[in-house]
Amino acid sequence: MADLVITGGRVLDATGERTADVLIRGGHVVEVGEDLRGDETLDATGCLVTPGLVDVHVHLREPGMEEAETVETGARAAALGGYTAIVAMPNTTPPLDDPAVVASVLAAGEHACCQVASSGCITKGRLGRELAPMGELHRLGVRIFTDDGDCVADAGVMRRALEYSRALPGAVISQHAEDPALVNGGAMHEGEWSSRLGIPGRPAAAEEVIVARDVILVALTGAHVHFQHVSTAGAVELVRAAKARGLNVTAEAAPHHFTLTDACCASFDPVFKVNPPLRAEADLAAIKAGLADGTIDVIATDHAPHPTEAKERPFEEAPSGMLGLETALALVWDELVLPGVLGPTQAFAALSWKGAAIAGLAHHGGPIAPDTPANLCVFDPEHRWEVDAARLASKARNTPFAGRLLTGKVRHTILRGEPVVRDMEAQR
Amino acid sequence: MKHLLSIADLDRAGIEELLDLSASFREVTQRDIPKVPALRGKVVVSLFYEDSTRTRISFETAAKRLSCDVMGFSVSSSSVKKGESLRDTVQTIEAMGIDAVVMRHSAAGAPNRVATWIDASVINAGDGCHEHPTQALLDLLTLRRHLGSSLDGARIAIVGDILHSRVARSDALAFAALGADVTLVAPPTLLPSSLAGWPVSVSHDLDELIPDLDVIYLLRIQRERQNEALFPSLREYTARYGLTVERAGRLRKDALVMHPGPMNRGVEIAAEVAEGPASVITEQVTNGVAVRMAVLYRLLGSGASVGAPPLPSASGRSERPSGEGATIG
């Protein structure tokens, strides 16, 4: 295999930042240093060369909703966004509660532009009653267990899932924290805007009640709970307090939860409908503060494709979810790094190596050093671009950021030594 | 003005223009032949995704009195039953050549979405728990006929299930826009979680307010709500918030009693009160036709300013009405 060298960039990983070339051979980084030569060169002048991004929360819709996304198209969108590993969520049809279904997703991902890991359900059918075969799924490599889309609402079932997971090394119980009884059919954040628009609300309390309860269950069981898409100031504070007690909890936040508010819903356009919902200004500030002080460990997209016709229904009737993979890094750069909320290293920690650690993806997240797998992102932090929904690689078009001008774009993505994205174009 | 989606889209002047025009059309509706050719050749579709008797008939009557062609669209017998999307349905209807859609839907904002998909005018005839702007306009027309053209300082209580009421949202905005002092009265479970930005005050105690009110506006209580833990029973609701005969006796002599219908007699309003001298509930219905004629005319008419509308006469020539009660057509 030919030598590939990435030249002229600033190498940034968990160990620090330095100007260096990166020489890649046989799928691995072999040397990081000055004036390296290879058979093939990727220009990284003016760019950051970082470990590939890792998204612990992605909906690839396969099997069952291939009209919205497939493993192949979702992985391509991910690669264009700088990701080298993503974790597929289990709310497919059938759901990922069965080894054969999980194996089919992993097989579909083998030749994709991005490594595709699979989550597994906590409960059979994501119904919240009986445990899914977590041990069998774990043997296939599943580390993140979740009923995402739905909350494990029954405290007794959650307790047993947490206890059971302790026998499975690296297992994480990943909770979509929204109490269905308090959500009660709500379609947007309950507050000033839901009251005015007459759209049934999902209160912040629905999220916070479950976070508080699950923190107590972590204290009881010692298992690892990961809180998905934390969206409220109260939930951030609960996670912060749990971490201060030394409890085994981690948390993620989605870019839309620190960039968009519930006021967007005034257009009644369901492109702004997502669960948990877009919140109020004070919640956005709390999410940013939680990312800045490490209360929130990772940024995950909750990339949720839906066919256009599904989003052309009235707000209350349309499905929830929005695209995220191709815009996440630029939004982090624009809204968090440039305003000084996060330093560049903090931002990439939240986008890459912290997620790799939670998901048990040892080949991702760096550091960029000799004899490590060459899964890398080359990011041009000055490239200005406008989000054009029609040009996204995802099959779906439901981005709430259409028309937005962003600063920063992924120039190259290297997966196992292969440039799967080169000069902002997917190579396969 | 292209659409009427929300009272929030109108300012005081815009509301008053529509009310002045409504007053002129009210005179038309009182004639022996209550019909003018103002919108001859215009096609109006009533698209009701939710059951309605009075609003649908009121709109269709208004459109016919303006000589529109009116087409009804019944969801139960249409391709909606076959799974056709809202967008496909309205674009199909528009392709037949129409000028306005009068739309009711169980989801908030459905008319707002439709307005982005088609060129015809969209009139919101009630969307989920959001708004019902023509109800608010007919309520204002009714109030103006009794209280005079300004509502400045009028004390109005809106009582009942504010949380789920599109009438309450439109009325609160409309009454306040014309200067009224609006109080929402309900148990806390039937109020929205936030009233930030609403031009209203709130009370949970109807008895305290009753003697000072100029107007009490009662909302329909849906029987299903007692099964959602929103209040214990209809009996308790009536005891605390119903306009009983006893409570109505403590209203001022000239106070008005209003209700958008349909009423639950014996729940939010006693039958004797609904029939009593203070009630203007039937007049509200009458005024509904005039208000909807004004809205249709405003949206589909020749485009002239509503301030001095050149209403076409029966012979097709234009005349300028000289104000309320002027001869039209």
Best to test chain A binding among B194, B200, B225 (most A CBs inside 10 Å): B194
- Distance CA(A239)–CA(B84), nearest Å, equals 45
d(CA B275, CA A316) in angstroms, rounded, equals 38
Give me the residue spans of the domains in chain A: 4-49+371-426, 52-359
Question: CB–CB of A382/A53 below 8 Å?
Answer: no
Cα gap A173→A167, rounded to integer Å: 12
Of B85, B128, B193, the CB nearest to A198: B128
Q: Does domain B7-132+286-319 sit in CATH 3.40.50.1370?
A: yes
Nearest-by-Cβ selection for B85 from A190, A269, A309 = A309
Whether residue A376 contacts residue A348, with contact meaning beta carbons closer than 8 Å, is answered with no
- Which residues, other chains included, contact B274 with Cβ-Cβ below 8 Å and sequence gap of 6+? B257, B259, B263, B265, B281
Tell me if domain B7-132+286-319 and domain B134-283 are identical in fold: yes
User: Which residues, 6 or more positions from A353, have their beta carbon under 8 angstroms from its beta carbon?
Assistant: A13, A14, A51, A54, A364, A365, A366
Q: Is the peptide bond before B199 cis (omega within 30 degrees of 0)?
A: no
* B326 — pLDDT class (breaks 50, 70, 90): very low
Give the N- to C-terminal CA distance of chain A in Å, as an integer: 18
CATH class label, A4-49+371-426: mainly beta
- The tens digit of pLDDT for each residue in B86-141 reads 899 999 999 999 999 999 999 999 999 999 999 999 999 999 999 999 999 999 99
Which of A94, A365, A238 has the alpha carbon at shortest distance from A225? A238
Q: How deeply is A347 buried, as exposed, middle or buried, from its count of CB atoms within 10 A (0-12, 13-18, 19+)?
A: buried
Q: Are B175 and B193 in contact (CB under 8 A)?
A: no
Domain A52-359: what homologous superfamily? Metal-dependent hydrolases (3.20.20.140)
For B49, which residue in chain A has the nearest alpha carbon? A314
B192/A309 touch (CB, cutoff 8 Å), yes or no: no
Q: What is the DSSP letter of A272?
A: G
At A70 the pLDDT is 98
Q: Which two tokens stand for residue B286?
A: 């009458």
| pLDDT tens string B158-176 | 999 999 999 999 999 999 9
> B113: which chain A residues are within 8 Å (Cβ-Cβ)?
268-269, 312, 314-315
For chain B, domain boundaries: 7-132+286-319, 134-283
- Indicate the pLDDT class of residue B81, thresholds 50, 70 and 90: low
Q: How far apart are CA B131 and CA B2, in angstroms?
A: 17
Q: Which tokens in the block code for residue B292? A: 């909807």
What is chain A's Cα-based Rg? 20
Please, what CATH class does the domain formed by B134-283 belong to?
alpha beta
Q: CA–CA separation, B290 vs B296, rounded Å? A: 10
Mean pLDDT by 10 residues, chain A (428 residues): 92 97 98 96 98 98 98 98 98 98 98 98 98 98 97 98 98 98 97 97 98 98 98 98 98 98 98 98 98 98 96 95 98 98 98 98 98 98 98 98 98 98 97
**DSSP summary character for residue B191:** S
Question: What distance in Å separates the CA atoms of residue B213 and residue B158, rounded to the nearest whole number?
Answer: 11
Closest CA to A177 of A130, A242, A116, A118: A242
B117: closest CA of chain A, how far (Å):
10
Q: What is the pLDDT of residue B77?
A: 65
Radius of gyration of chain B (CA): 20
Contact A192 B196 (CB under 8 A): yes
Tokens of residue A275, six digits: 């669960």
Q: Which residue in A has a C-alpha nearest to residue B169's C-alpha?
A: A196
Q: Which residues in chain A are closer than 8 Å to B130, comparing Cβ atoms?
A: 197-199
Q: What is the pTM of this model?
A: 0.94
A4-49+371-426 and A52-359 share one CATH topology? no
* Buried b or exposed e, range B56-78, using 16+ CB within 10 angstroms: bebbbbbbbbbbbebbebebeee
| ipTM reported for the complex surpasses 0.90 | yes
Confidence at residue B75, expressed as pLDDT on a 0 to 100 scale: 76
Three-state SS letters, B58-88: HHHHHHHHCCCEEEEEEHHHCHHHHCCCHHH
Closest chain A residue to the Cα of B195, Cα to Cα: A192
Query: Per residue in B264-318, pLDDT tens?
Result: 999 999 999 999 999 999 999 999 999 999 999 999 997 543 444 445 444 433 3
- The answer to whether the CB atoms of B109 and A203 lie below 8 A apart is no
Cross-chain CB nearest to B194 (options A191, A268, A314):
A191
What span, in angstroms and rounded, lies between the C-alpha atoms of A238 and A221?
18
